[in-house]
Amino acid sequence: MTEPTLDLEDIQGNLLRGYHMPLALHIAFALDQVPAARRLIGRLAGLGANGLPQVSTAALWQDRPSCAINLGLTYAGLQKLGLPQAVLQRFPPSFAQGPAWPDRARALGDTGISDPQHWELGSPGDPAVHLLLSINARLQSRLDELAADLCKAFFDAGASEVWRRQAEALPQDRVHFGYRDGIAQPRIRGVDERRIGAAQSSRNDAQPEAPAGDFLLGRRYVNSYGGNFLGDLPPALGDNATYGAFRVLRQDAAAFERVLQRNARRWKIDNPEWLAAKMMGRWRSGAPLVRDPDRDPGSRPELDGDTINDFDYAPGRQDEQRYDDARGLRCPAGAHIRRLNPRGGMAMGQPHTRRIVRRAMPYGPEYVAGDGQYLDDGVDRGLLGYFLCGDLAMQFEFLQSVWANQDLSACGLRGTRDPILGAHPAEGGRFVIRTDDRRDPIVITDLPRLVSTRGALYCLLPGIGGLRHLASLT
Ligand code: HEM
């Protein structure tokens, strides 16, 4: 089947390319004066002569810009802007109800300290968020200037700021816990990554391209299941839109380091880094365990292009030059990257499906251990941003609730959750490392909850045409 040409000038830019800018500021607004809010959304989407910055698209860049802005709307926002009830009821329940909906929050692992009632964003007790403005910039001065201009425009349109947080890249694309991030992202069929400047464009990838319909709503797009995630939504609103699960995730860096130290001692492992690699599926340098199970080859430029993402866990007979790790002796079946993207492994249903685009960055300062003591420093740090997909229930929620948090009946997974992300029980979570079929596995049994949810929203990120459609509502 030929893939439709993507309308790059209509699709919001953050779906198809990471901006590679070190700063991202997200500001949540409640809209009050509806006609003024509609006009402002229209102006940001290029309607009328106006001096405001424009929503960034995936259109080819002549020069890389110094900043980018994107808009997401919650279900409450679409309701507020006056989308007719007949249209609102065609949205999938996951989006309409949102991540704080009690049954959903439980399934996603948002219980205990992650319970929505403690959230700083999207908590049921707080004023409804209607719109999420995201600004990426290379320089703090540019970010401040843009945020001031845009906030003034929103205030003039009767909106009030409900929440804001800034994320900042750490050196070498690391996230808290010290791993390099931003390596594996789906390559989307029909997107010329080199031309739009996507980061992964220079990397080999053993996985097939994902159909555009897995990420984009639209009449012309077909998803991995042969369907189309636009459903019954009007194309004027939905064409070229995507859904974003926005998450504010706090990370307990001291507890993570203590897990490594404690279990290295207990299991007589010389190098705690080996344990860190087993939990993630990559060394902290980014090198994948399937290729280098015993020793970190470090971060080498040649590793990036050729090998850093060019692997599978069960490559199949047609691909015999790749190492077959179907039994999980190199990369544990329960490692974060393997649970959340089993690649060709037939973990559940079709291989190479349920993929998501990750646009999250760290917030808060790096954790510094003092004198080999991994003490809590009380500092708030974590990861913040969007997980983008065409269907929140089938993609983001499936990853978070089933792959990260369910007790899957597969070898090495029984009785465990994602070691990094899992909502581990109070008595301690389990993680199984099997390296040799003849020896008993290492079984870690004392994992605390390392990542907790501090806030969440589900947003629709319409195309430029969809934003203009919202502006034209009466
Ligand atoms: C604070 C929380 C998190 C941390 C510290 C974290 C860290 C990482 C790191 C270091 C990687 C490897 C780098 C790469 O492959 O690009 C990765 C990959 C990945 N993560 Fe997370 N992550 C977090 C939350 C999540 C969440 C909430 C999801 C989705 C529900 C998720 C889904 C994925 C996926 C799909 C991959 C790529 C796997 C692959 O294709 O090989 N992560 N994560």
Residue 302, burial from CB neighbour count under 10 angstroms (0-12, 13-18, 19+): exposed
Nearest 5°: the CA angle 113, 167, 273 is: 70
Report pLDDT for 353: 86
Residue nearest to atom 34 of ligand 1 (CA): 340
Q: Which residues, in sequence order, are CB contacts of 333 under 8 Å at separation 6+?
A: 339, 410, 411, 412, 413, 432
Task: Report how far ligand 1's centroid is from the alpha carbon of 220 (Å).
Answer: 30
The packing angle between helices 34-44 and 140-156, to 10°, is 140
Please report which helix (H) or strand (E) contains residue 242, including its range.
strand 242-251
Atom of ligand 1 nearest to the CA of 356: 35
Task: Report how far ligand 1's centroid is from the alpha carbon of 337 (Å).
Answer: 6
Residue nearest to atom 25 of ligand 1 (CA): 421
Task: Report how far ligand 1's centroid is from the alpha carbon of 29 (Å).
Answer: 28
Q: How many CB atoms lie within 10 A of CB 55?
A: 23
The number of CA neighbours under 13 Å toward the Cβ of 299 is 10
Give the residue ranges of DSSP H helices in 180-271: 193-196, 235-238, 253-266
Report pLDDT for 45: 98
Closest C-alpha to 305, from 180, 188, 192, 205? 205
Report pLDDT for 5: 85
Q: Give the C-alpha separation, 280 to 371, whole Å.
A: 25
User: Do the bridges between strand 160-168 and strand 67-73 make them parallel or antiparallel, or are there none, so unpaired?
Assistant: unpaired
3-state secondary structure of 339: helix
Task: Report how far ligand 1's centroid is from the alpha carbon of 327 (Å).
Answer: 22
Q: Under a CB-based contact definition with an 8 Å cutoff, are residues 308 and 288 in contact?
A: yes
Retrieve residue 464's tokens: 């430029």
Q: What does each of the 474 residues of the chain score in pLDDT, given as a tens digit?
A: 556 789 999 999 999 999 999 999 999 999 999 999 999 999 999 998 778 999 999 999 888 899 999 999 999 999 999 999 999 999 999 999 999 999 999 999 999 999 999 999 999 989 899 999 999 999 999 999 999 999 999 999 999 999 999 999 999 999 999 999 999 999 999 988 877 777 767 788 889 999 999 999 999 999 998 999 999 999 999 999 999 999 999 999 999 999 999 999 999 999 999 999 999 999 999 999 999 999 999 877 666 667 899 999 987 766 667 788 989 999 999 999 999 999 987 656 678 889 999 999 999 999 999 887 899 999 999 999 999 999 999 999 999 999 999 988 777 889 999 999 999 999 999 999 999 989 999 999 999 999 999 999 999 999 999 999 999 999
Lining ligand 1 with CB less than 6 A are: 175, 177, 179, 181-184, 247, 249, 251, 280, 282, 336-337, 340-341, 356, 358, 382-383, 387, 396, 399-400, 420-421, 451
Residue nearest to atom 36 of ligand 1 (CA): 337
Report pLDDT for 309: 92
Pocket test for ligand 1, best of 361, 421, 450, 451 (most atoms within 8 A of CB): 421
Beta strands in 333-441 (DSSP E): 357-363, 382-389, 429-433
Q: Give the C-alpha separation, 450 to 444, whole Å.
A: 14
pTM above 0.95, yes or no: yes
Please report which helix (H) or strand (E) contains residue 153, including its range.
helix 140-156
DSSP 8-state code for residue 184: -
Pocket test for ligand 1, best of 180, 181, 452 (most atoms within 8 A of CB): 181
Q: Under a CB-based contact definition with an 8 Å cutoff, are residues 90 and 426 in contact?
A: no
Retrieve residue 150's tokens: 């845009």
Q: Which residues, in sequence order, are CB contacts of 190 under 8 Å at separation 6+?
A: 3, 4, 5, 6, 212
Q: Under a CB-based contact definition with an 8 Å cutoff, are residues 96 and 243 in contact?
A: no
Pocket test for ligand 1, best of 179, 291, 340, 424 (most atoms within 8 A of CB): 340
Instruction: Point out which residues pair with 288 in neighbouring strands.
Output: 282
Task: Report how far ligand 1's centroid is from the alpha carbon of 395 (Å).
Answer: 14
